Chain A
Amino acid sequence: MRGAAAIRKRESITGLRGRGAFLTLLVLLLVLSAVMIIAWPRGGKLIAVRSEISRLLFGTFATGQVLMMAVLATIHAAGSMTSEKENGCFDFILTAPISPSGIVMGKLFASLMYIQLLLVATLPLASLCLVLGGISTWDILTFYGGLFILTTLCGLVGLTCSTFFHRTQAALAVSLLLVLPPVLTLLAVVRDASQLGRAMLFPPVQLVCIVAGGLLLLKIVNRVKKPFPRVARPIDMENPDRQKGLVLRRDAFPDKLLIPKKRTRLLPDRVNPVYEKEIGSEVFGQGTLLVRYMLVLGFSLLVIFIFFLVAGFAEIYICYVLGFITLIAPTFASNAFTQEKERRTLDLLLATPLKPREIVWGKVLATFRFTGTVVALLCVYLVMGLMHPGTITFANLFAFVCIIPTHMFTVIVIGLFFSMVFKRSLDAMLATYTALALLFLGPVALLLILVGVTDTPVDQISWLGTVTPFLATLGTRAVELGRPPPRWLISPLSWVSCVCIYLALSFSLLGAMVVWFRKLLRQ
């Protein structure tokens, strides 16, 4: 543990000094305050009703809190080691008289300290539920105790990925894929997020957490003890014969759709060189490990969701695909320009006569192709569903075929936008995920609060069903299958409005990026 204090102090100072720390706190408090304000009971309601509302309110608050804190803890820890490697500072730390366990514990404490600070900052908001009754101080304290354990575990997963990967992009993508499915499963199991504390403080669960945390720490310390190669292993050194698990071969179908074969000839005339560069070298410049992890995790989760498809709930299956896109696409899109800035290749690109639209479009297309191929592999089962009566119809398929690419395009454009605005990949990714959460999950949360907690008439808020692809997807099949349509649904064709809204948003943002190209990229 020698030197842990020095690392922790430095990390804390630099972390808290930045604008990002303040903005994260601000956004978090604003979102949670908005939840409270919207859901706060108005008028003279009976005490029993107020207690019920209080429990619902605290449950909604806790769900949002769990999701946000899990993501934030993971993101913060996932960038802690990789940022040192990317900045070339890791050698300084390794050669300083700081023990490997000191480095790891310093990094972990620094990452978690900020998250715990955020947790404490939200405590007054959660305590407001005490005023309404139905919730005790013990309920709040156990919830926060459970959340503390959960965020520590998420931080450890992020730190593990950060230690093993060379790029923040890779560490972040894999750690989010590792963290989010269990967290969502946990929320689904406990049903009421406010009961998370009780679940996490249950002795056998605590034991599992301690053992898992200890193993992860041991793994990280062992990795830090070994010297790190200065140059990341280039793609050509990746021998498919030596790869474990999923193997990608550039010359085999469908792998070659994902990773094109290495070029042996010059580029043809009149191609977009940025697209060719991105797809030919950049996406897989650091090897295929990240992609293989993504595919393995994506298909592992698919095994669960395929049951929904078979059971006739294709819309839930599509929601999983949309969620997968929301997680995966930003790891490439929000990195597109920040990587050029961090690596100092942006000036080289900007000094060429390439037009802003060529550069932006090249990056959009490359990310779209890569994400599209992965998603297409997940969607193959939809076509198979067509052959199974009652599972899916051509009309459904058409709706999904419109919703999925639109969603993907929007996510990519938003990621690219923040990649242009921010200097660091980590900041761009954080901003992208925050924006996507507000855009896609915000209306869902608002709808749940308004319908479940307040007395707002449904017809006043049914428009919310058109502003997020998740709600639009859920509404596509309701009428067709003879199920009662969701109360919030304007019509089964809500998805058409949703697609139009998101296409308009994406193209507007794309246009703004091209027009403000120089301004956004100025360093």
Chain B
Amino acid sequence: MIKIKDFTKKYDGVNAVDGLNLEIEEGDIYGFIGPNGAGKTTTLRFLATLLDPTRGDAWICGHSVRAHPDKVKRCMAFMPDHFGVYDGMRVWEYLDFFAVAYGIPSQKRLGIIDDILVLLDLQTKSEDLVNGLSRGMRQRLGVAKTLVHDPPVLLLDEPASGMDPRARMEITELLKELKNMGKTILISSHILSELASCCNKIGIIEKGLLRATGPVADVVSRVRVHLVINVKVLSDVEAARKVLAANPKVSNLTVHEQDFRFSFPGSEEDAADLHASLMKEGVRVLWFHEEKVSLEEVFLRVTEGVVA
């Protein structure tokens, strides 16, 4: 659905993005992660036909961004990271303006605007002036604006920026709903937990280079060197410590009251054997589980905090 080939953008001789190649399939929610100045916004603006590349091209729904920007504009919607609103315009007028800009006939427009207002929970704000909306509400309006022409591809740059935790969760749910509707979404965000819960693929970009890309689980497994296991016991703390310390595959063991945490380079069978040996020693195990690698950790391991 989205294909980027050798996209390079230079500003004053500095590569903001350097030879980016990327493919996003239909129905994907692709999370674009990177430090500030890594090239995320540059890439999104290029896809939104707002930026001429130094080299390379991209295709959205099969249309070249460089050769057919008009066709691309009709099949995608872009929400910038920071955007303003028009003074003296009401919420419904704002959506109506963009609907007319996309050439949607008036008999369809009313229904579309109503549906979008309901979807974004903005129906009570319909008659409010857009310049009087709170930042969170403006972000919602920004998302609403991207949906007026029902595009198959959405390019969202920091859509949850400035939103409170509840609103962020609602946006995450909305993204999932949009995915169920068959939309392909490219989303950049700094709030990685938010991406982890809704994206099926991620790409990590740094200094204009794509460091890692693929399904979330694949990227995580590539980053993970070995298992990290957490154990909590109800009694026999000393017995448990002895069992764990005796196992040659257990390293970096830390004990805090009844909680144990250690690295375990063994296989899943080896982990099951370790669990069995604890039980055999009569240790009452409350839980024994692998510590999930967070997207934050993946991000920190892949990147060096360098910007372009």
Contacts and interface: CB of A to CB of B under 8 A. Distances in A.
Interface of A: 231-232, 234-236, 263, 266-269, 271, 273, 276-277, 280-282, 284-286, 343-345, 347-354, 518, 522
Contact of A281 (B82, B84, B86, B145): B86
Interface in B34-64: 45, 48-52
B86 A277 contact: yes
B106 interface: yes
Contacts of B1: none
A343 B84 contact: yes
- Interface residue range, chain B: 35 or more
Interface stretch (B87-95, B189-197, B248-256, B270-278): B87-95
B131 interface: yes
A345 B105 CA distance: 24
12 contacts: A231-B132, A236-B88, A266-B109, A285-B87, A285-B131, A345-B83, A350-B50, A351-B48, A352-B98, A353-B70, A353-B74, A518-B52
A234 B83 contact: no
A97 to B, nearest CB: 28
Contact of B101 (A231, A235, A273, A344): A273
B73 interface: yes
Contacts of A518: 52
Given A268-B106, A351-B48, A353-B101, A263 B93 contact: yes
Interface in B137-168: 145
B104 to A, nearest CB: 9
Contacts of B78: 347-348, 351
A234 B109 contact: no
Interface in B95-148: 96-98, 100-103, 105-106, 109-110, 113, 129, 131-132, 145
A261 to B, nearest CB: 13
Contact of B97 (A231, A232, A235, A276): A276
A230 to B, nearest CB: 10
B77 interface: yes
B96 A266 contact: yes
Contacts of B220: none
A518 B52 CA distance: 9
B85 interface: yes
B74 to A, nearest CB: 6
B80 interface: yes
A280 B45 contact: no
Contacts of A266: 96, 106, 109-110, 113
Nearest to A262: B90
Contacts of A273: 97, 100-101
A161 B173 CA distance: 48
A150 B163 CA distance: 50
A282 B88 contact: yes
Contacts of B84: 343-345
A282 B84 CA distance: 13
B9 to A, nearest CB: 12
A344 B81 CA distance: 10
B235 to A, nearest CB: 57
A353 B82 contact: no
Q: Which of A267, A269, A343, A351 has the most CB of B within 10 A?
A: A351
Contacts of A236: 88, 129
A447 B96 CA distance: 53
B97 to A, nearest CB: 5
Contacts of B45: 347
Contacts of A232: 87, 131
A344 B87 contact: no
A281 B87 contact: yes
Given A350-B49, A353-B73, 8 more contacts: A236-B88, A280-B88, A281-B86, A285-B86, A344-B80, A347-B48, A348-B78, A351-B48
A268 B96 CA distance: 10
A12 to B, nearest CB: 27
A371 B98 CA distance: 26
Given A232-B131, A267-B106, A271-B100, A282 B73 contact: no
A281 B88 contact: yes
Nearest to A271: B100
Contacts of A281: 86-89, 93
Nearest to A234: B129
A348 B109 contact: no
Contacts of B87: 232, 234-235, 281-282, 285-286
A281 B96 CA distance: 13
A359 to B, nearest CB: 10
A479 to B, nearest CB: 49
Contact of A351 (B50, B86, B96, B97): B50
A267 B131 contact: no
Interface string B184-217: 0000000000000000000000000000000000
A344 B88 contact: no
B102 A352 contact: yes
B145 to A, nearest CB: 7
A165 B239 CA distance: 76
A285 B105 CA distance: 26
Nearest to B84: A343
Contacts of A280: 88-89, 93
B198 to A, nearest CB: 23
A353 B77 CA distance: 11
A310 B13 CA distance: 66
A522 to B, nearest CB: 8
A344 B83 contact: yes
B211 to A, nearest CB: 27
A425 to B, nearest CB: 14
